[in-house]
């Protein structure tokens, strides 16, 4: 098991080593210590490996992740799992703003709270937040699912496209073109499956409300000018 001490090596050296990992590697578990809020740890990984980060991380940890499973034993700064393609990024603490931004695939799990703009412009990623999320979350979200077990801040789902938002707690306000929708049995099954993947085996879909696009802002119309 490779053990990287970021008090002795740089993030650049760590990421260079991770980028050289081949799909058939037998070094499938990496441990990173003394992360100390450093930025871009584990960015651009493209291999089916597990990375355990022992501590807090700064900006863009796990950004552009592909296939790897990254567990952060602490809090994460801005843009954790930004533009993730596949794999799993698991934050054991809280996440700062723009968690999972522009993510195309994979699963982001946040054990605590996520700040503003969680899931902004998400393009297929699934995000499960076990706490609450801040304002403008899922802004322009295009595809994927955002599940929130706590509360949601202002302007949830503003200018949303075809992503789906599930919230168990209170929603301070909805953004432009975001509306509450009736859940189907397929929606409930999808929610339960994602919650299970995030380690919550008995989530009750009936405790959640679902939100999505009213599909009124797809094309410019002068009557909607105030909403743009």
Tell me the CATH number at 138.
Answer: 2.160.20.60
- Average pLDDT in the 84-95 region? 98
Question: Is the confidence at residue 189, as pLDDT, over 70?
Answer: yes
Residue 90 has a pLDDT of: 98
Question: Is the confidence at residue 227, as pLDDT, over 70?
Answer: no
164 Cβ partners below 8 Å, 6+ apart?
144, 145, 146, 187, 190, 210, 211, 212
Q: Which domain holds residue 154?
A: 3-227
CA distance 124 to 127: 10
Number of C-beta neighbours around residue 8 at 10 A: 9
Lowest mean pLDDT among 116-120, 191-195, 222-226: 222-226
CA distance 6 to 170: 40
Q: What is the total count of domains within the chain?
A: 1
Instruction: For residue range 151-185, list pLDDT tens digits in order.
Output: 999 999 999 999 999 999 999 999 999 999 999 99
CA distance 147 to 171: 13
Residues in the chain: 228
Residue 228 has a pLDDT of: 60
């Amino acid at each position: 098991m490779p053990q990287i001490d970021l008090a002795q090596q740089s993030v650049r050296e760590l990421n260079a080593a991770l980028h050289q990992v081949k799909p058939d590697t037998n070094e499938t578990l990496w441990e990173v210590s003394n992360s100390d809020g450093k930025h871009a740890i584990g960015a651009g990984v493209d291999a089916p490996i597990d990375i355990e980060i022992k501590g807090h991380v700064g900006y863009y940890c796990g950004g552009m992740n592909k296939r790897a499973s990254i567990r952060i034993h602490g809090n994460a700064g801005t843009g954790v799992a930004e533009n993730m393609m596949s794999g799993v990024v698991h934050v054991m603490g809280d996440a700062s703003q723009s968690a999972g931004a522009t993510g195309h695939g994979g699963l982001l799990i946040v054990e605590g709270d996520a700040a503003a703009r969680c899931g902004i412009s998400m393009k297929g990623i699934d995000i499960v937040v076990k706490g609450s999320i801040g304002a403008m979350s899922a802004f322009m979200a295009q595809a994927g699912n955002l599940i929130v077990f706590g509360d949601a801040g202002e302007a949830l789902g503003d200018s949303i496209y075809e992503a789906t938002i599930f919230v168990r707690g209170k929603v301070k306000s909805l953004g432009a073109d975001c509306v509450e929708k009736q859940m189907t049995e397929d929606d409930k099954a999808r929610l339960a499956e994602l919650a299970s993947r995030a380690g919550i085996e008995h989530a009750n879909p009936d405790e959640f409300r679902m939100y999505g696009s009213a599909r009124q802002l797809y094309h410019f119309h002068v009557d909607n000018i105030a909403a743009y």
